[in-house]
Amino acid sequence: MMDVRCNLCGHDDYKVRYPATGQYATMGQDHHALAADAFSCTHAGYGSHARIVQCNHCGHIYANPRWTDEELLAAYTAVEDNTYVEERLGRELTFSKHLYAMEKFTGPANREPASGSGRALLDVGAYIGVFVEVAMANGWQACGVEPSAWGAGVAQANGLPVLHGTLDHDELQPMSFDVITMWDVIEHLADPSGELAKAYGLLRPGGWIVVHTMDSSSLAARLMGPRWPWLMDMHVQYFSQRTLAEMLRQNGFEVVWSGAQGRYLRLNYVASRLGGLNRYLGAVATKLVHGLRLGSTAVPVNFGDLFTVYARRPIAED
């Protein structure tokens, strides 16, 4: 594992917010077992994480030490996640809600119906392409990019335009998109500031970036402390609404709005996530959900610790 500087301000002066847990506490910072399944979107390994620190200069929270950039990319390239496929209904409802909220800022795919094809949208970390499909169904000229070979393959097998790779993919041309979305992606990135800079270059002037992630300064995060479930292997960045807005501004964006935004989950999935936090509670919830035959029912979930930021590349630039 490697020691890293704060990705927001570049300083190397921090305090330990949460010590390493699980295998990371016993193996030491120079040794670790990096398993691809720990980086799947639906992994329930709550409470197992590397040491998490907070920058003394800007307040950004991040994993330090963490895996190398190459190790992280290799893990995400290898990841497979069939549970995500099973949870598709909840994802579709969530992304439909996200798209509806997004279009209040960005406008719809076609400002004028006679204009032809919709405006261009790129979904970063598209996984199996659910948001791409939802956006296309609503008129957007949407595509995605995804590092997981499995995820991109599933999307492509379903006829969705999802590229296997990252924002460095050579098919992504400068100033060719009107909107770029990052749903639950930025917390996984070794260099989020660098990726935001790449996104800026891919957007047309006046284009929008939409970033959704966990809120480390939320009431839920503060009340739960070290028991906050988003403290996990796969998360190496922990933004607050303030620190993410600052990083966007540093990369040239104008922040327009930031606020809490939840999601939809099937009750079967909720019960399994509770099992990741507490085995007994998970068993009781699973028995109850199955007994009432409500496992496939999708419900809105919002504890205030997930948020979305809408920001723009300026139309007139210096």
Distance of CA 71 to the CA centre of its chain: 18
Domain residue spans in the chain? 82-230+237-262+302-312
Q: Is 253 exposed, middle or buried (0-12, 13-18, 19+ CB in 10 A)?
A: buried
pLDDT at 110: 80
Q: What angle do CA 15, 18, 24 make, to 5 degrees?
A: 115
pLDDT at 246: 98
| Other Cβ atoms within 10 Å of 262 Cβ, number | 15
pLDDT at 91: 87
Phi, psi of 259 (to 5 degrees): -175, 165
pLDDT at 299: 73
pLDDT at 280: 60
Structure tokens at 79: 């990841």
Whether the Cβ atoms of residue 236 and residue 62 lie closer than 8 Å to each other: yes
Whether the Cβ atoms of residue 62 and residue 130 lie closer than 8 Å to each other: no
Tally of CA atoms within 13 A in the half-sphere of 189 that contains its CB: 23
- Between CA 202 and CA 196 the distance in angstroms is 10
pLDDT at 86: 78
Place of tokens 């190397």: 12
Q: Which CATH class is domain 82-230+237-262+302-312?
A: alpha beta
DSSP-assigned beta bridge partners for residue 18? 52
DSSP-assigned beta bridge partners for residue 311? 209, 255
- Between CA 25 and CA 30 the distance in angstroms is 11
pLDDT at 145: 98
Query: pLDDT truncated to tens, each residue of the chain (318 aa)?
Result: 899 999 999 999 999 999 999 766 655 544 455 555 667 776 666 788 999 999 999 999 999 999 999 999 999 999 888 888 877 888 898 999 999 999 999 999 986 545 556 799 999 999 999 999 999 999 999 999 999 999 999 999 999 999 999 999 999 999 999 999 999 999 999 999 999 999 999 999 999 999 999 999 999 999 999 989 899 999 999 999 999 999 999 999 999 999 999 877 666 655 555 555 566 665 666 677 567 666 567 777 778 999 999 999 999 776
Predicted TM-score of the model (pTM): 0.89
Instruction: Outline where DSSP puts E strands in the chain.
Output: 14-18, 52-55, 61-63, 120-124, 141-146, 162-164, 177-183, 203-214, 237-238, 254-260, 263-266, 298-301, 306-312
Distance of CA 26 to the CA centre of its chain: 29
